[in-house]
Every structure is written in structure tokens, then in C-alpha cells.
Amino acid sequence: MIFHTLVSTDLSQMVVTFCKENGIYDFDCIQTPMKLLSGQPGNRQPTFPG
């Protein structure tokens, strides 16, 4: 499992894509809470392969 704390949305998305392609669990520890706090829709849930 990869817990990432990238502030850059582009880098964060690269990690998410890498994890999906390689069957690795990931959780974005920065972008997800920032979206929740700012009230932005489309919050990304942690991804799980399979």
C-alpha cells in the first residue's frame, strides 16, 4: 500500500495511475482531505485493485 502526501495534483494523479496499473493499494493523504475541507465535489475514494 502506498500512502502519498503529494500537494501537486499532477504528481498525485501519476501515483494513482501507477498504483492502478500495478495492482497496488493507494491512499492520497493530502488531496482527499483538502477536497473534503474545501467542500469540493468529486472526492476521490481510496482505490483498491481488483
44, 31 contact by CB (below 8 A): yes
- Summarised one tens digit per residue, pLDDT across range 22-37 is 999 999 888 878 778 8
Q: For residue 5, is pLDDT > 70?
A: yes
Residue type, 28: D
What are the residue boundaries of the structural domains of the chain, listed by start? 2-38
Strands (E), the chain: 2-4, 26-28
Joined together, the cell numbers standing for residue 20 give 492502478
What does pTM read for this prediction? Answer: 0.62
41, 15 contact by CB (below 8 A): no
Residue with cell 498504483: 19
Joined together, the cell numbers standing for residue 16 give 494513482
